[in-house]
Amino acid sequence: MTKRILITVGGTGGHIYPAMAVARELKKRIPDLYVMFAGHGLGENPHFDRQAFPYIDVSSGPFPVRSPWTCFTSLGKLAKGMMDSGKMFRDFKPDLVIGFGSYHTLPTLLAARFCQAPIVLHEANTIPGKVNQLLSRHAVAVATHFPETASYFKGKTVQVGMPVREGYHKGAINHDDALSYFSLECGKPTLLVFGGSQGAHAINRLMKDYLLRQSSGTLPFQVIHLTGSQEHTDQMSTSYEAAQVSACVKNFEKKMDYAWEVADLVIGRSGAGTIAEAIAYEVPALLIPYPHASDDHQVRNALFMQNVIGGAVMLLQEAATSMRLQDEIANFFAHDCRQLKAMKENIAHYKKEQTSTDFCTLIQELLIR
């Protein structure tokens, strides 16, 4: 009998890419499995593969909120989203519903609870979001990536490896081919600079100010910089050219596996997806947590990567000056890249010691119950 899974997601790449990776792997293991996605704005989301997966757009609003007017409008969107989801549940009849976090998943998860559909939650961050905490008591399992996260939940928790995009692992892409794709040189260290799936203007500004401090032609590395917008791409291209730094500057990059394959150091935010892919490729990181993330979860993610794994340095945005960035980058490349090499070894050791359950295996076990 064909099994049906509904996956509900938020709108960022950090939610969507791991969810699609899970869906693809499950369909490999269970060929007749039917997977549908639910979320707000999937019909226009640049990260979601509409050719690969059927989906339903579900109305949603921020949760929780403080403004009375925003609360009123959010409740209206939530009610509509629950009605849309309820109709979909009656037609689709999923055997399992998987929530990947974000307030966008709330209407579908509440409808799943009302329709008595089994729920599995995936929490990628050290500090879980409000929706996952709220629904955890009703879930058959909550999958966590960081050991400390389990204490926030009621009910059964299982530590799992963080799902990454299919084929995203060290060595999957030929190193020289990846360098050629970005028109970069062999034998030269490569920085990957990006602000997550949506870019980060603060990181763009910081790199621009950093380049202004450097003497032309003196930096020992080349750069892949993903800015998030054409305006910032134009500005950063000019800055790298003035500093005589070889750089591939783009708004966005679909082939992030190529970027990770050649990266020797990543400078970026500390969302769960970035952390997971840095670990998968054993790339040390200079992490600048997004300061407005709920419950400061990006700070906690960065601290885990820095203090537990030993694979990163955290730099708070409020302290991120061009001079401080200059010092941190210099430390990474000092003494024949000693710090970079040590951090790569730490990440490799962490990967080797991991004994977590595979998330797709957990889903398979729940489907056959």
Instruction: Report pLDDT digits (tens) over 22-38.
Output: 999 999 999 999 999 99
| DSSP result, 238-300 | HHHHHTT--EEEES--S-HHHHHHH-SEEEE---HHHHHHHHHHT--EEE---TTSGGGHHHH
C-beta of residue 56 within 8 angstroms of C-beta of residue 27? no
Q: Starting at the earlier edge strand, list the strands of the sheet with 157-159.
A: 55-57, 34-39, 4-8, 96-99, 119-123, 141-144, 157-159
At CA 302, angle to CA 15 and CA 205, rounded to 5?
85
Which of 225, 309, 239, 318 lies closest to 268, judged by CA?
Answer: 225
Backbone angles phi, psi at 320, to 5 degrees: -85, 85
Question: Exposed, middle or buried: residue 8 (CB in 10 Å: 0-12, 13-18, 19+)?
Answer: buried
Q: Which two tokens stand for residue 227?
A: 């800015």
307 DSSP 8-state letter? I
Q: What is the pLDDT of residue 1?
A: 77
| pLDDT (0 to 100) of residue 13 | 83
pLDDT for 162: 83
User: Alpha-carbon distance 9 to 6, whole Å?
Assistant: 10
DSSP state of 309: I
Which residues face 226 on adjacent strands? 194, 250
Listed residue (313, 321, 311, 320) closest to 347, CA to CA: 311
So what's the pLDDT on residue 3?
94
List the pLDDT tens digit at each of the 369 positions of the chain: 789 999 999 988 888 999 999 999 999 999 999 999 999 999 999 899 999 999 999 988 776 666 666 776 778 888 888 888 888 898 999 999 999 988 899 999 999 999 999 999 999 999 998 999 999 999 999 999 888 899 999 889 999 988 888 888 888 999 999 999 999 999 999 999 998 755 589 999 999 999 999 988 889 999 999 999 999 999 999 999 999 999 999 999 999 999 999 999 999 999 998 999 999 999 999 999 999 888 889 999 999 999 999 999 999 999 999 999 999 999 999 998 999 999 999 999 998 887 677 899 999 999 987
- Name the one residue in this structure whose structure tokens are 């409000």: 130
pLDDT, position 252 = 92
